[in-house]
Amino acid sequence: MSNNRLASQATGAQIGTLLLALILAITGGGILVAGLALPFAMSAGTAVNAVTGVFEEVPDDLGFTEPSEQSVLLAADGSVIARFFAENRIVVSSDQIAQPMKDAAVAIEDRRFYEHHGIDVQGTLGALASNIVTGGTSGGSSITQQYVKNSMVEQGRIRGDEDMIRSATEQTYPRKINEARYAVAVEKTMTKDEILTGYLNLVQFGPSQYGVEVAAQHYFSKSAKDLNYIEAATLAGITQNPAKWDPAKHPENAFERRNVVLSTMLRDGYITQEEYDAGVRVPVEDTLHISTQPAGCGAAGISAYFCEYVVKDLLQDESWGKDASDRTRQLYRGGLVIHTTLDPVKQQQAYDSVVEQQPVDDPSGIEAALTSVQPGTGHIVSMAQNTRFGTPNETDDRMTQVNVNVGKNMGGGSGFQTGSAFKIFTLVEWIRTGHSAHDVVSLNADTTYPRNSFHASCEPVQGSAAWHVSNLGWPGGRNTVEYAIKNSINGGAAHMAMEVDLCDIIGTAEKMGVRMGNPDGKWNYGPSLVLGANEVTPLSMAVAGATLANDGTRCDAMSYTSIENQNGEVIASRSPKCEQVLEPDVARQATEVLEKVVAPGGTGKNAQIRDGRAVAGKTGTANDDWHAWFVGFTPDLATSVWQGHIEGNISMFDSVIKGRYYHEVYGGLFPATIFSSYNSRALAGTPPTPFPNPASRNVTTEPLPQRQPAPRYTEEEPEYEEEPVEEPPAEEPVEYEDEPTD
């Protein structure tokens, strides 16, 4: 093909690009060959004047932002819980990139990188000549130009600006000219090493691997600073076509491409002939040690539900970020380091304790969950449940994304009725209003109370005209409040409720940290609230327990302590948010009573901790065994355990769990046992600490009546369908090896 034919195919934009290269040769210190014969219609002087002006418009501040980088969620010990990224990238400094990696990139991408001033004139001229023949517009970009292009694309992604991305990637000469102008400006403000480092942090090295650090970790399970020349050549060969030259999926292609890179490294003196000869013989497969970095909470294993809770907490926290959208962007692109409160050892212990008693795939389909907080800080140290995190599907209907420990606004459900566990707050209100645990109350066997027997100052007492209460398996008569709580006698709680304000019972529960699962829900202020008719969250019940353990000071639940940006600067920090909500002696008196619940003969005896340390708590079982609870605490840890069905109020009567038949499932059985198992493990090695004695000791003065044989549940239905029942006595339920028959 003749020169005239080539000239006839050249466009004005192509001429401009050619002249641009010549201009840069001049302005960058290169030599313009005088009298160069240009087979174009326009004069060189005219074209130079036309193109030179664009360089005068380049701003001093190019406005390139930090590239997107993965954020990481860390446990309290610094171990990784989960990573979040829109692009999986870890930005590293120059000294964290091995020299062979830099050499390989320069050799294959821009061999004259250290000689030019942003534009490789020779490469640009060669690419233009090829494009004139083929009609294309690609090729010849220097590393600096590629850095500019990738930076603009990254800015577009960060801003969600598709037009910006399109303008940075379109295959046109105007775009190439604009890219060149910025490349020249970059060379004036950044060193060669800074440009090369920026390039290696930006470019794509695989299907979801951005930047050399993540690429090194993914393909070779090592850091970029530890790459050898063979590994570096493999990575450098990927960038032009990550899909085609992916060594994991196409090792044959990657082998050929890597050897091309090795040949350029030999050509430019970066490796010796001996190194080259050895390197080209090594199969790519023999060098790979693939490790994956899945994104999001789905990769957090048994901590996935806690992870989701933290994400909700982060995005709702207005103390950092402009708004929820900005916080989301920073989470997925900002390279944040989020320090959480989770103790991974206790988390494993919590999960093991739950699934040992209520296996994940148990045919009963019953769920169980545990959450634990630290008194004095509110730190959530564990949060576990016996389900797999994810969306239910045909092959795994046990998967769920519902975190049963928390409420709807934090990824959970509407909460659960607590049964007699809510008697904690009637007890506290009883003591707070001047009563004593050794006050004698009526046990009121099988009694109906008129609604006007109760008082609610905040609104009319809810419910029907009469409320029927049964003492299941217990006689009537009179005894102390301590006795009624220890044995979870409903009649005693009803009598206590008549002498206090129902609204104050709820108010005390709220002050201690209890929250409904539905944040828009309304409390039931009927007398059945005394027996746990309201639906609350396990996490909030743990916070309430921690309030008693902390001498009446409530510390709000806290999932993370600080957030650092990609520069290591703390952009948000949290300290315990605590408030004294009960007089210390009120908390101590209530705790002393709740210790009796866990003592031999109490409904929570199965919650005793193996080393005999001080423990207090309350059992709870909702109506028809819908839900079973144990809420307990030591001076060091407060824990809430729930058992039931995520779907709602489904009876656990006649359940077969772990192959054994249980006529009844209640709080003193599995939840108390889970509590004991977890705390025995979690507190091993922690010196036992007694609870502080109250100033006014709770002394039992009434003789205890003899227990009368009776079925744990009567045939009579309660007045309200939603009314929880009292906790069954603490003995083990009757168990049968064979399944029951109809």
The Cα–Cα gap between 593 and 438 comes to: 10
Q: Could you report the per-residue pLDDT of 325-370, keeping only the tens digit for each? A: 999 999 999 999 999 999 999 999 999 999 999 999 999 999 999 9
Amino acid at 497: A
What letter would DSSP give residue 90?
Answer: -
Between helix 121-134 and helix 12-27 the angle, nearest 10°, is: 170
Yes or no: say if 531 and 56 are a contact pair by the CB < 8 Å rule: no
Q: CB neighbours of 266 closer than 8 A, spacing ≥ 6?
A: 272, 273, 275, 276
Amino acid at 668: G
Q: CB neighbours of 379 closer than 8 A, spacing ≥ 6?
A: 76, 341, 373, 558, 561, 576
Yes or no: say if 182 and 141 are a contact pair by the CB < 8 Å rule: no
pLDDT level of residue 636 (50, 70, 90 thresholds):
very high
- At the topology level, CATH places domain 93-287 in Penicillin binding protein transpeptidase fold (1.10.3810)
pLDDT at 733: 38
Q: Could you report the per-residue pLDDT of 378-409, keeping only the tens digit for each? A: 999 999 999 999 998 888 888 999 999 999 99
The Cα–Cα gap between 165 and 143 comes to: 19
Highest mean pLDDT among 168-172, 434-438, 706-710: 434-438
Q: Where are the beta strands (DSSP E) in 151-203?
A: none
CA dihedral 531, 533, 537, 515 (to 10 degrees): -90
3-state SS class at 402: coil
Structure tokens at 561: 């302590």
Burial class (CB in 10 A: 0-12, 13-18, 19+), 20: buried
pLDDT level of residue 667 (50, 70, 90 thresholds):
very high
**Among the listed residues 22, 17, 45, 31, the one whose alpha carbon sits nearest the alpha carbon of residue 179:** 17
pLDDT level of residue 20 (50, 70, 90 thresholds):
low
Yes or no: say if 429 and 481 are a contact pair by the CB < 8 Å rule: no
pLDDT at 169: 85
Yes or no: say if 54 and 174 are a contact pair by the CB < 8 Å rule: no
pLDDT at 175: 81
The Cα–Cα gap between 467 and 481 comes to: 21
3-state SS class at 480: strand
Which residue, chain included where needed, has tokens 């423990």?
Answer: 615
> Would you give the distance in Å from CA 429 to the centre of its chain?
37
Percentage, residues of the chain above pLDDT 90: 74
Polymer length of the chain: 742
**Number of DSSP helices (H) and strands (E) in the chain, helices first:** 24, 23
> Could you state, in order of their start, the residue ranges of all structural domains in the chain?
93-287
Structure tokens at 391: 């969306």
The Cα–Cα gap between 624 and 622 comes to: 6
Which residue, chain included where needed, has tokens 């009694």?
Answer: 447
The Cα–Cα gap between 67 and 65 comes to: 6
3-state secondary structure 242-299: CCCCCCCCCHHHHHHHHHHHHHHHHHCCCCCHHHHHHHCCCCHHHHCCCCCCCCCHHH
The Cα–Cα gap between 316 and 13 comes to: 51
Q: Where are the beta strands (DSSP E) in 634-727?
A: 638-644, 655-657, 660-662
Percentage, residues of the chain above pLDDT 70: 83
The Cα–Cα gap between 728 and 632 comes to: 17
Q: Could you report the per-residue pLDDT of 60-100, keeping only the tens digit for each? A: 566 688 899 999 999 999 999 999 999 999 999 999 999 99
Q: What is the DSSP string of 5-52?
A: HHHHH--HHHHHHHHHHHHHHHHTT----TT----SSS-HHHHHHHHH
pLDDT at 56: 52
Average pLDDT over residues 453-472: 88
Q: How far is CA 11 from CA 6, 42, 358, 603, in A?
A: 10, 11, 75, 90
The Cα–Cα gap between 332 and 83 comes to: 9
Yes or no: say if 535 and 528 are a contact pair by the CB < 8 Å rule: no
> Would you give the distance in Å from CA 214 to the centre of its chain?
21
